[in-house]
Amino acid sequence: MLEIDSIFSKESVLSSHIAGFRLRPQQLEMAHAIADTIANHRILVAEAGTGTGKTLAYLVPALLAGGKVIISTGTKTLQDQLFNRDIPTVRSALKVPVTVALLKGRANYVCHYHLEKCLQDTHLTFVDREEIGYLSLIERYARNSKDGDKSGLREVPENAAIWQMVTSTRDNCLGSECPNHKQCFVMEARKQALAADVVVVNHHLFFADVMLRDEGLSELLPACNTVIFDEAHQLPETASLFFGESISTSQLLDLARDAKIEALMGARDFLPLPDAIASMDKAVRDLRLTIAEENTRIALTEVKRYPDFIPTLDLLVQQLTLLLKLLENQAERSEGLENCRMRAANHLYLLQRWRDDSEMGDYVRWIEVFHQALQLNATPLSIADIFQKQLTSSLRAWVFTSATLSVKKDFSHYNHEMGLSAVQTASWDSPFDYAKQALLYVPQGLPEPQHKTYTEQVVAAALPVLRASRGRAFFLCTSLRAMQRVYELLQATEDFDFPLLLQGQGSRTYLLDRFRETENAVLIGSQSFWEGVDVRGEALSLVIIDKLPFAPPDDPVLSARIEKMAQEGRNPFMEYQLPRAVINLKQGAGRLIRDEADRGVLMICDPRLISKTYGRQIWQSLPPMKRTRDLAEVEYFFTKQNSK
């Protein structure tokens, strides 16, 4: 292990390649622990506080060990950062000849086949001139790009509607039957990943492949020596998503759109097909209209509140069954029609399984409603057994790391949820001096969160703190409704002249850029800004959290898991709800102090932090900040900061 000691020393190769690098004992200890895990094919769950430098702590031993390494991240942002910056820097410093590949889901790559279809389509479903302009940019990009990754074409926004038309999905990819198979960007990315020593993926791709054997990792995993999950706190949610089943109205409408195009090109003379497609399309749209709400989750047991839902779902099953029969009749006429037949069969299977009470014993069935779409979900009550099979399938090292995995250094909740037994755990505190750099403020006099004027009173308590901090704040809310209300109240406040930015007014990147440029803004956000956001310096000097982030008790998956734990004689609040809330709160609190020079106030408005017996367990899990309930002390903190 001497090699690792010398690499992380003051006069090391890292210091000559990384500006501002300095020895951090926590980082060195973590690097040793990961090196030992890799050498002995063990499992390590490692929590490393903000500023530990965990990326270097796992990259150095992983690159030195040799063998094939898969690094999986929670976000595409970190994925790109690792591939474009961090790994090349470490590789150059260590002078190790490792090859590296970046692998994303197929929706991130331009599809030659669908691009060509789009260019030939004279009845484009998007008539927007801007989108047609984007199409010509994508056409030129596809001709000249080596990888076809849509992130390389900055001129076309990531959320532009055109991307759905010119990329493939697992459903509509023709695979080896595709006439453009040899030029396929997805296939090229997979080939590079198979040949590379280090492959950078994201959690969604990892689990999509583990379950669906679809994205190229199924061939990578058997040859892999080490799997490293960064941002590992996101894994339980991501794994639940992929270990379950889902079918959405968007997928069904995509099928209708593609079947219509394929019928026009390959079966124009078969007249029953367009009528069947139109009837199925209408049934899908009618299903979405049976539920008036948006951005809500509904348990199957609550669906009786929507009397039209089940009859409309049954009608959709009938129309899809008819469409499938017609597609079976015509499928041999083109690869595209055969693809539509396969998709129709799969979608029908999922709809019928979701509808059948006898099919989904250990799953909770629920509906998620979006603005324009509706999704039927079946989520496993526990992912532990399913994930454990992946861990024991072959001998390799597994590393799970994040700044937030434990409750007061107790990892039992996370390990139990992920099915991790006989694993090593380790925790390293942040090297930052929180007692000097930060203040935790819990205001006095606020009511319980269920009080009807709670949000109004939270904003009233926050106003003097926002004025003392001169803006420069994140106002983090636990619900979209509260977020919108906070925005309205601050907007309506006289003499409050700090710029307000609201989640949803632009992309996250755009809002963060505006926040940094403005220097005295207040950014009001919900889940999107609780994690993965890094604003250093005085631009962010205050983080306000409206209430403790307990998941809504009426959430269908949560309520089903609570019920199951209660039936087993366990305490669902202490074993499940509280640890999840602590981990989420630590993520939100982690936005405040991002380096040694940062100073700021964390304001948690929820009085339960003080009034409930479990409150102590929560604040003891936070970094060791000085605590106060006195507004004057907060104002003095900012006066002292502003005078520097």
pLDDT of res. 169:
82
Cα→Cα distances 434→74, 429, 469, 609, Å: 26, 11, 18, 19
Closest CA to 266 of 333, 355, 178, 349: 333
Residues with Cβ within 8 Å of 243's Cβ and at least 6 positions away in sequence, in order, are 207, 211, 379, 380, 383, 386, 387
Confidence at residue 483, expressed as pLDDT on a 0 to 100 scale? 96
Taking the CA atoms of residue 479, residue 482, residue 483 and residue 485 in that order, the dihedral angle to the nearest 10 degrees is: 160
Strand duo 542-545 + 600-604: pairing: parallel
Show the CA angle centred on residue 221, arms to residues 217 and 222, nearest 5°.
Answer: 130
Q: In what order do the strands lie in the sheet with 69-73?
A: 100-102, 198-202, 69-73, 226-229, 397-402, 43-48, 424-428
Residue type, 331: A
Q: How many helices (H) and strands (E) does the chain have?
A: 29, 18
Low-confidence spans in the chain with pLDDT less than 70 = 1-2, 122-127, 210-222, 359, 642-644
For residues 230 and 114, give the distance between their C-alpha atoms in angstroms, rounded to a whole number.
34
Return d(Cα 226, Cα 66) in angstroms, integer.
Answer: 10
Which domains, and CATH codes, for the chain? 2-105+187-242+382-428 (3.40.50.300), 110-167 (no CATH), 243-380 (1.20.1440), 434-642 (3.40.50.300)
Residue with tokens 């409150």: 615
Order of strands, edge to edge, in the sheet holding 296-299? 245-248, 374-380, 363-369, 296-299
Q: What does the buried/exposed string (b/e) look like for 496-516 if buried means 16 or more CB atoms within 10 Å of the residue's CB? A: eebebbbbbeeeeeebbeebe
Angle at 521 between CA 643 and CA 155, to 5 degrees: 130
Rounded Cα distance between 224 and 222, Å, is: 6
The amino acid present at 421, given as its one-letter code, is: S
The dihedral region occupied by 269, where left means phi > 0, alpha psi between -120 and 50, and beta the remainder, is alpha
Closest by Cα among 385, 588, 414, 592 to 47? 414
The number of residues making up the chain comes to 644
Q: What's this model's pTM, rounded to 2 decimal places? A: 0.87
Q: In whole angstroms, what is the distance from residue 207 CA to residue 216 CA?
A: 12
pLDDT at 1: 46
